[in-house]
Amino acid sequence: MNQFSDKQLYQLCKKYGTNALMWRRKFTGLLPEVNRRRLYEKRGFSSIFEFAKKLCGLSEKQVRLALNLNERFKDKPALKGLLTSGEVSVNKLTRVTSVATPEDEEFWAEKVQQLSKSALETFVKDVKNENQNGLYKPQIEVKSLPGQTLNLDSDVEEELLELQGKGVDVNELLREFLEKRRQEIAQEKEELVAEMGVVPAKSRYIPVKIRRHLQKEHGDMCTIAGCRKSAREIHHTQRFALASNHNPKYLAPVCREHHAIAHAIDVKVQAKKHL
């Protein structure tokens, strides 16, 4: 081992670790059939749990999860196929059991292969909450978060209370401020669009001016309604490959999970358009 550099040693660890995970998934996928045939008894094991532990190091909980998924996927052949083939881990497949139906199980089978576990969890949550995220609308509609309250600095709150005490309609004052802000953002957006002209963008890199505008308009959080995660990506709601521009009207700051979901949905939508 001393002949390996740190980089080479790490690459070997990564390679073997990845292969170990793959073979572990494939072993887990065999368990429903092992259980059906009671193969573990024929080979001298007291239970399928002992069989799985001694041959692959699986816990009883992991075995029960695999068998439970196999039962729940009896009427969902696409998802069951991913389980028994070991193509997808039971941990990811578990995420869709609460939403997948015999009618849409092929859709979910596609998504568990496309999305990371965290993105899949987010997508399932959106679907369960019937969250219309508007990723294909020209403008992202940003809604207030349930249970959210304003966090005003003491000096701001004090000044507003003083004005209210003098008979000033504070609500109207704030409405005027918000309307002025909306107008300024809209004007700035139009100026950016005019500045870009009709010349296609040379790269996918979004100019700093536009990034600053989006931050000013949307803040630092994901623009998907109900999402409380930080915006780490900027999604082109008009596919960049087709539009070749960075029009701020069609850009949405989103978290990594919703960005992955947006592209997963986009692949499906575009495929349907070309049928």
In a domain, 149, yes or no: no
Asked if residue 96 is part of any domain, the answer here is yes
pLDDT tens digit string along 139-180?
344 444 455 678 889 999 999 999 999 999 999 999 999 999
With contact defined as beta carbons under 8 Å apart, do 213 and 193 qualify?
A: no
Residue 199 domain-assigned (yes or no): yes
Q: C-alpha distances in angstroms, 200 versus 192, 196, 205, 214, 249?
A: 14, 9, 12, 20, 16
In a domain, 133, yes or no: no
Q: Which residues of 87-124 are buried (b: 16+ CB within 10 A; e: fewer)?
A: bbbbebbbbbeebbeeeebeebbebbebbeeebbebbb
Q: What is the mean pLDDT of residues 214-243?
A: 88
pLDDT tens across 176-194, in order? 999 999 999 999 999 998 8
Identify whether residues 200 and 104 lie together within a single domain: no
Express each pLDDT in 93-137 by its tens digit: 999 999 999 999 999 999 999 999 999 999 998 888 764 544 444
User: Is this prediction's pTM over 0.75?
Assistant: no
Residues spanned by the domain of 66? 6-114
Given this model, what pLDDT does residue 237 score? 85
Same domain, 100 and 180: no
Q: What is residue 143's predicted lDDT score, i.e. its pLDDT?
A: 45
> Could you tell me if 40 and 51 are in contact, meaning their C-beta atoms sit under 8 angstroms apart?
yes
Q: What is the total count of domains within the chain? A: 2
Tell me which of 79, 96, 114 is where a domain ends.
114
Spatial contact of 95 and 120, defined as CB atoms under 8 Å apart: yes
- Do 13 and 102 reside in the same domain of the chain? yes
At residue 131, the pLDDT reads 45
Given 64, 92, 114, which residue is the final one in a domain? 114
Same domain, 12 and 100: yes
DSSP per-residue codes, 15-36: HHHHHHHHHHHHHHHHHHHHHH
Question: Do both 40 and 109 map to the same domain?
Answer: yes
